[in-house]
Amino acid sequence: QVRLVESGGGSVQAGGSLRLSCAASAYGSRCMGWFRQGPGKEREGVATISHDGSAMYVDSVKDRFTISRDNAKNTLYLQMNSLKPEDTAMYYCAASTIDCSGRYSLARSWFSYWGQGTQVTVSS
């Protein structure tokens, strides 16, 4: 079992930045990711990262968001810059049971463990 705890959400104006963190009770060589769910929308994959640091992003956040991981601290990060109102959502940290290097991993089916989420609100 893996426990995930997100932090760092909040309210920000368009163009601003936030950094999300996710502390994991167990890390290992697993794929980690960030998902989000906006009001009335399906949960979508935002970014994922393999154990060796290979990252994948949904097109809408490329060049604005950066996913990273500190394997020594069992912590996952999401740096979000140039935020837009359409980025408003609950953001969830997710952990897989396997690694995902070189494979498409933005689907929910990759991930077995989920955090409770942290709210990000971007005002115009």
Report residue 98 CA to chain centroid gap.
17
The one-digit pLDDT tens for each residue of the chain (124 residues) are 899 999 999 999 999 999 999 999 987 779 999 999 999 999 999 999 999 999 999 999 999 999 999 989 999 999 999 999 999 999 999 999 999 987 888 999 999 999 999 999 999 9
Distances (CA, A) of 89 to 37, 40, 43, 99, 123: 5, 10, 9, 26, 12
Question: What does the pLDDT read at residue 58?
Answer: 97
Structure tokens at 37: 């769910």
**In contact, 57 and 63? CB cutoff 8 Å:** no
Question: What does the pLDDT read at residue 56?
Answer: 96
Question: What does the pLDDT read at residue 101?
Answer: 86
15: burial class by Cβ within 10 Å (0-12, 13-18, 19+)?
Answer: exposed
Neighbouring C-alpha atoms within 13 Å toward the C-beta of 15: 1
